[in-house]
A = this chain, B = another copy of it.
Amino acid sequence: MTNATRNRRICFPITSRAYYGRSQLLIKKLHQHPGVDLELMLGGSVLLDKYSSHVADDIKAGGFAISASLFNVIEGGNHVAMAKTACLTALEVTNTLYTADPDVVVICGDRFEQLAIAMAAAYLNKTIAHIEGGDVTGSIDESVRHAITKLAHIHFVTNDDARRRVLAMGEDPAYVFNTGSLDVERVACSVDNGIDITTTELSAYGVGHDVDVTKPFLTVIQHPVTTESDNRTHLEATFRALAALDMPIVWFWPNPDAGTGEMAEVLRHFREHHEAATGKMRFITNVPADHFIALMKRTACVVGNSSAGIKECSFLGTPVVDIGGRQQGRLSAENVVRAPYDTAAIRDAVTRQLAHGRYAPSHIYFKPDTSQAMVDVLTAIDLYTQKRFHEVS
């Protein structure tokens, strides 16, 4: 079948709230492009109320075509549940991709289920576009990201170091584009629009105590590191360090990766049994992207191991204490201070960052018009499926 006689069909799987937030600009532009038939595929935590019901609502409101809504998160919060979730996802995505028959499948980032989707797409002989390859980090994400690169045909990287690594891995230079980070474009866009969050708006999310956003507060985002076995004690170290500072805290619930079960237990335990220590904390599973960015902009310091600390906060100049191995090796600006899993070290690092205050914005992850550049490539580039290893001479 020739593609000349039909629109280019692009399938975009969305499996977590974070992916939806960062991809909104791209999805919207693809949806509006006259030469594109866009289909979303929903799965993973996006469909589960407790994490992100508003995402499904947003998507419906946007008028997007949805080719499938796949409930495929297996309970357990451990490695076996994570692995089976990925496999079940791949199995069901295969059916959906087979029916939808897209020309291109867009894979984002490095979450474990995205590799499974990429695998299904590769076996179905689809062209795969990958966003955010070439970075280096810790956790299973490190393996997953590069394995996706080796299945993908079109690469959108966020920085020059990443581009160099993707080329070293044998990818065709004509298909590797440094377009900057979608997350950071999203941040720039929100900042331009003067978007903000009020204390009342914040109090509508999650449970716990109100946090006054006009006064200094910390934000914690600490996810499991799947390749480590002591996520419980690691989170306890952070908790103890911050409780000692006695500041208001917005604490984000961990992602549903392996280890999330133990971390959730730690948080629940502290909430039930340490009322004094949690007396200034608000626990939140999720907020829409604009409010998330507003929080990143207002907070005195981001603590934990989220990539938002490295990427979004570099652009915003927000001080960050990055803990442990999850972001290990990732390109970062001067706003980031690293700390090991140690209560005293974390407390000291946060204290120093609070003393320093905001940093000058960095553009290491920013290029203007990121999403438009992606649309231009996705709609115009020649598609291929048979990969060849390009050796860097």
Residues in A lying within 8 Å of B, measured CB to CB: 47-49, 68-76, 78-84, 86-88, 90-92, 94-95, 98-99, 112, 115-116, 119-120, 122-125, 136, 138-140, 142-144, 146-151, 165, 168-170, 207, 226-228, 258, 261, 265, 272, 325, 328-329, 385-389, 391-392
Q: Which B residues touch A86, using CB under 8 A?
A: 90, 119-120, 123
Listed A/B pairs (24) with beta-carbon separation below 8 Å: A68-B99, A71-B76, A71-B78, A74-B74, A79-B98, A79-B123, A80-B98, A83-B98, A84-B91, A84-B95, A86-B90, A87-B91, A92-B92, A112-B123, A125-B140, A136-B389, A138-B386, A142-B387, A146-B169, A146-B389, A150-B169, A165-B170, A207-B272, A227-B386
Q: Which B residues touch A73, using CB under 8 A?
A: 74-76
Partner of A150, one of B74, B87, B143: B143
Minimum-distance CB pairs A-B, first 4: A83-B123, A87-B91, A146-B150, A87-B90
Q: Which B residues touch A87, using CB under 8 A?
A: 87-88, 90-91, 94, 116, 119-120
Give Cα A386–Cα B326 distance, bound, in whole angstroms: 10
Give Cα A94–Cα B80 distance, bound, in whole angstroms: 7
User: B391 contacts A165, CB within 8 Å?
Assistant: yes
In the complex, how many angstroms separate the beta carbon of A342 from the nearest chain B beta carbon?
19
Q: Which B residues touch A387, using CB under 8 A?
A: 142-143
Q: Which B residues touch A74, using CB under 8 A?
A: 71-75, 88
Give Cα A261–Cα B136 distance, bound, in whole angstroms: 38
Q: Which B residues touch A90, using CB under 8 A?
A: 83, 86-87, 90, 116
Give Cα A110–Cα B385 distance, bound, in whole angstroms: 17
Work out how many copies of this chain go into the complex.
Answer: 4
Partner of A69, one of B98, B123, B142, B391: B98
Give Cα A243–Cα B214 distance, bound, in whole angstroms: 38
Q: Beyond the given A71-B76, A88-B88, could you list 8 further A-B residue pairs with CB under 8 A, ordered by the A residue number?
A: A72-B74, A74-B75, A87-B116, A146-B169, A147-B150, A147-B151, A228-B386, A328-B388
Give Cα A226–Cα B148 distance, bound, in whole angstroms: 19
In the complex, how many angstroms separate the beta carbon of A86 from the nearest chain B beta carbon?
6
User: B168 contacts A391, CB within 8 Å?
Assistant: yes
Partner of A123, one of B136, B226, B328, B386: B226
Q: Which B residues touch A69, using CB under 8 A?
A: 98-99
User: B123 contacts A140, CB within 8 Å?
Assistant: yes
User: B389 contacts A124, CB within 8 Å?
Assistant: no
Q: Which B residues touch A112, using CB under 8 A?
A: 123
In the complex, how many angstroms separate the beta carbon of A261 from the nearest chain B beta carbon?
6
**Which residue on B lies nearest to A122, using beta carbons?**
B143
Task: Decide: A91 near B94, CB < 8 A? Known: A168-B170, A265-B49, A329-B388.
Answer: no
Give Cα A366–Cα B372 distance, bound, in whole angstroms: 51
Q: Which B residues touch A79, using CB under 8 A?
A: 98, 123-125
**Which residue on B lies nearest to A328, using beta carbons?**
B388
Q: Which B residues touch A328, using CB under 8 A?
A: 388
Q: Which B residues touch A120, using CB under 8 A?
A: 83, 86-87
User: B389 contacts A329, CB within 8 Å?
Assistant: yes
Give Cα A48–Cα B226 distance, bound, in whole angstroms: 18
Give Cα A226–Cα B386 distance, bound, in whole angstroms: 9
Q: Which B residues touch A151, using CB under 8 A?
A: 143-144, 147
Give Cα A228–Cα B386 distance, bound, in whole angstroms: 8
